[in-house]
Structure 1
Amino acid sequence: MRNQRDFFHGRMTVEVQGALMEPFLQACVKRGCHISDMKRTEEGKVLLTIRLKDWQILRQLRKKYRCKISIKGGNGLPFFINQMLGRLYLVFAFLAAVVVIFLLANTLWSIKVDGLTPELEADVETHLKDYGIKPGKLTIGMSDPIEIQQKLLDDVPDLLWIGVKKQGTSYHLYGVEKTRYDTKMDNRPSNLVAAKKGMIVETFIKKGRPLVSVYDVVKKGQVLATGKLVEDKETVIHSDGEVIAETWYKVEQNLPMKQVLTLTDGQVESEYHFRLGEWEVPFWGWWKGEDGNFREENHRDGWDLFGWESPFGMKTTDHYSIDPKAYASSRDELEKLGLASGRRSLQQEIPKDAEIKEEKVLHLGEEHGKVKLILLYKVHENIAVTKYLSQGD
């Protein structure tokens, strides 16, 4: 019976050390402490067993008798429960980690759409949200990629085809837009007229009767090819083709005599961000790059685990210290700079298939600390545009 009570209340193995060890133990017994299994381990040290509730008695008397006590072990129900609770916390922590990893691995973090115009891409993203597919939502219960593909093809009439692929925690869509042709407009009677003044260098008339030839100089609005194949008949077809002409463009450039060159001294301060999907959390160096002139460069790294694309990653922002230096340019340098700048500016204005053949400097002079350049460019481009004919023409 006593052993059963000791099991439920708990027992402790304690080592006692001190010069007044005997009086200390006698005082503990007088206070009601049950001592058993006592044995002397070495001179001045005793190993004994007490009940768990007697531990407070030993602690209260140890200072009075200048004894040192230390716990060597314990058994019984209280120690068993404490041990199980400690392991239970570990089990709960493990289960919580598994749940968090499971949720992160089954959460949609990003959607990427390629191959479509911005307007059509926005339309596709709107429909995806209507389907419940958006960043931050669990992929569990979402439609499979084949079903999403069919829904988009049914709901977005401008889509010719779209592919939906799930890559880790992201969706990658690639679409092809329908090309709409207005057959009625293509078959309407029309002429080809000059969009601007120029000298003809090549003609490629696919449909219609040409009215100009190479080296002819035409003005804006002049008919280049007509849809009337026979002069004395009323039948008019749709004209189609290209007429390449030599045209001229004048470009003006104003460049400062003093140029500012931005130099870096090699010093760099790095700022680090922890990335979770599209969210970024700075954790080191966010205070850098605030004082002085700096040039920033961003680097993004993803973390892959056994081929699985995780939503976690790092973003590093490098702040390079820069020092702007002013220097004076010569007229020859500014002329070369102006020619290159004028060519780039002109290429943004002319059609993509147009070709710059020649460039000339018409004027080069200084005005108020700046160099004024007037440039002339010879361009070969298609000047033929379609002009539809009404019934009375």
Structure 2
Amino acid sequence: MKNHWIEFLFGRVTVKVTGKGIERFLNVLIRNKLHIWNVKHHGTETVTFKMRLNDAMNLRKFARKSECTLSFLQRDGVPFLLKRTLKNSGFLLGAILFFCLILLLSNVVWGIEIKGAKPATEHQIWKELDKMGVKVGKVQFFIDNVETIQRKLTDHIGALTWVGVELNGTTYHFQVVEKNQPKEPELLSPRNLVAKKKATIVNMYVEKGQPVVMINDQVVPGQLLVSGMIGKEGEEKLIAAKGEIWGETWYKSHVELPLQTKFNVFNGHEQKKYSLLIGKWEIPIWGFEKHKFAKYETEKNSQRIRFLKWELPISVVNETIREQEEIIRIYNNLESVGIAVDMAKKDIKNRLDEDAIIKDEKVLHKTFVNGKVKLDIHFKIIENIAKGQPITKEKSE
């Protein structure tokens, strides 16, 4: 028959009927809308059939009016399964607890490996991991995801150029690349050193080549500083000139700063929510109360649930909602000038090489207009002005 699973859900029984007048008894059941199926004859005075558990409750009142006797041969379906399960609840509870224990242990951090770091850097990494809660014995659901851990380590430890973070089972693997790695020697073709900008030379260090300028000389862009042609006349040879020519250069910067600034900051109030993500369905499990923050920022981290070595299609989602508030910062005229100068310095440093030095700065023009301070600033910079220029055959000839 159709929809056997519905009958299984509500329970069904197999009934044996013996006696005289079995056909009349079956017709009575059908007329009273008791559903029966799989009717089988076993001789002339015995028949078996299946019926719903709810209908079987009313079966005996019809049997009393007949010459038949009833017996129940088999009971199956969800109600009987639940009854048997309750009788063996100890085994069921033990199985559930065992499964939960294995599930929990499969999502605990059991190992952390750091490779490629010097002892001092490795010590810093361990300290940062401890601050982030990445430690042996911690449940992975309460730890940031791999991308966040990688970003925080790179931001907080200056000695790191790059760190790779991989979660393999219950072990975190960190592969570290530190800064100041030895550079491979640069292979250079014959070249001169020329000025890349207008400057007054203040210092020189020539490792290879023939200097053609002196300290306090003023040079212009493209002017020859160190020649790559050395040796006596008629015996010249070409080399790759190498050195540093430090010159005093000049920059102008224009900067504007509002005297009143609005910005958002976190005030320390936050709310956490946890949920299970199964496919596209997200089921809340903790933190049902709706937040009352007017302005806020939401951060979500998801962690896949593991069972032994398998990754289940279920994730624990950790959602943090942080309240923001608007702050209005007002500078007076003196403060605004100092901050504007600092902004200009940072802008200049971003345009220069790392080893360049700001020697002096002078405010050329200062105005306060429409709630802003506007500055024109002149900077004196000490920087390496030399750049390589290949020596062509035409030049050497």
Letter in 1 for 2:322: H
Q: 1:342 to 1:231 in 2, by over 3 A?
A: farther
**Which residue number in structure 2 is paired with residue 382 of structure 1?**
384
> Contact conserved, 2:277 with 2:283, CA < 8 A, in 1?
no
Q: Would you say 1:214 and 2:220 are equivalent positions?
A: no
Say if 1:382 and 1:80 are closer, same or farther in 2 by CA, change over 3 A. same
The match for 2:326 is 323
- Listed as ranges, the matches of 1:1-393 within 5 Å are 56=58, 78=74, 85-86=81-82, 167-168=168-169, 183=187, 186=188, 188-230=189-231, 232=233, 233-260=235-262, 262=264, 266=267, 268=269, 270=271, 272-274=273-275, 281=282, 283=284, 288=291, 292=294, 294-296=295-297, 298=299, 300=301, 312-325=315-328, 328-393=330-395
Describe the superposition over 1:211-257 as per-residue Cα deviations: whole angstroms up to 9, x where unpaired.
Answer: 22333222111111001113624422111122122222111111223
Q: CA deviation at 1:175?
A: 9.1
Distance 1:381 1:55 in 2: 99
CA displacement at 1:81 relative to structure 2: 9.0
Structure 1 residues 278, 166: closer, same or farther in 2, change over 3 A?
Answer: farther
Contact 2:297–2:324 (CA under 8 A) maintained in structure 1: no
Q: 1:204 to 1:249 in 2, by over 3 A?
A: same
**Partner of residue 45, structure 1:** none
Q: Write the distance in 2 (CA, Å) between the matches of 1:302 and 1:323.
A: 33
Contact 1:167–1:309 (CA under 8 A) maintained in structure 2: no
Change in CA separation of 1:304 and 1:205 when aligned onto 2, cut-off 3 Å: farther
Cα distance in 1 for residues equivalent to 2:76 and 2:291: 54
Unaligned runs of 5+ in 2: 1-13, 17-52, 63-70, 108-114, 117-162
- Flag the 1:347–1:80 CA change in 2: closer, same or farther, 3 A: same
Shift of 1:318: 2.2
C-alpha distance 217-281 of structure 1, shift in aligned 2 (>3 A): farther
Query: Are 1:365 and 1:372, in contact at CA under 8 Å, matched by a contact in 2?
Result: yes
CA distance in 1, matches of 2:242, 2:311: 54
Unmatched 5+ stretches in structure 1: 1-7, 11-51, 61-74, 107-113, 116-161
On the 8 A contact 1:354/1:382 being kept in 2, the answer is yes
Change in 2 beyond 3 A, CA 1:282/1:238:
farther
Aligned partner letter, 2:367 = G
After superposition, give the CA deviation of every residue in 1:263-303 in whole Å (9 maximum; x if it has no partner).
66x584525354779999473569757x74x2426375869
Identify if the C-alpha distance between structure 1 residues 282 and 378 changes in structure 2 by more than 3 Å, giving closer, same or farther. Answer: farther
Report which stretch shifted further, 192-201 or 353-362: 353-362
> How much has 1:193 moved relative to structure 2?
0.4
1:195–1:384 Cα contact (<8 Å) kept: yes
What is the DSSP-based 3-state SS (H/G/I as helix, E as strand, rest coil) of the residue aligned with 2:335? helix
- Paired with 1:199 and 1:297, the residues of 2 have a C-alpha distance of 54
Q: Does the 8 Å contact 2:259/2:330 carry over to 1?
A: yes
SS of the aligned residue for 1:220 comes to coil
SS, match of residue 377 in structure 2: strand
Alignment partner, residue 126 of structure 1: none
Residues 257/59 of structure 1: CA separation in 2 closer, same or farther (3 Å cut): farther
1-structure distance, mates of 2:225, 2:278: 58
Shift of 1:92: 11
Identity of aligned residues (%): 26
8 Å contact 2:230–2:236 — kept in the other structure?
no
TM-score of the two chains, using structure 1 as the length reference = 0.51
Q: Which amino acid aligns with 1:247?
A: T
State the secondary structure of the residue aligned to 1:348.
helix
Per-residue CA deviations over 1:63-91 (Å, capped at 9, x if unaligned) read: xxxxxxxxxxxx99646998984468999
For residues 353 and 253 of structure 1, the distance between their equivalents in structure 2, rounded to whole angstroms, comes to 24
- Contact 2:252/2:379 (8 A) holds in 1: yes
Does the 8 Å contact 1:270/1:285 carry over to 2?
A: no
Cα distance in 1 for partners of 2:279, 2:378 equals 49
Amino acid at match of 1:223: L
Structure 1: how far apart are the matches of 2:387 and 2:251? 19
Indicate if the aligned counterparts of 2:262 and 2:326 stay in contact, CA closer than 8 A: no
Instruction: Give the structure-2-normalised TM-score.
Output: 0.51
Checking the alignment, whether the CA contact within 8 Å between 1:252 and 1:375 is kept in structure 2 is yes
Asked whether the equivalents of residues 273 and 280 of structure 1 are also in contact (C-alpha less than 8 Å), the reply is: no
Change (3 A) 1:273 1:345: farther
Task: Give the deviation of 1:192 after TM superposition.
Answer: 0.2
Q: Residue type matched to 1:190 in 2?
A: R
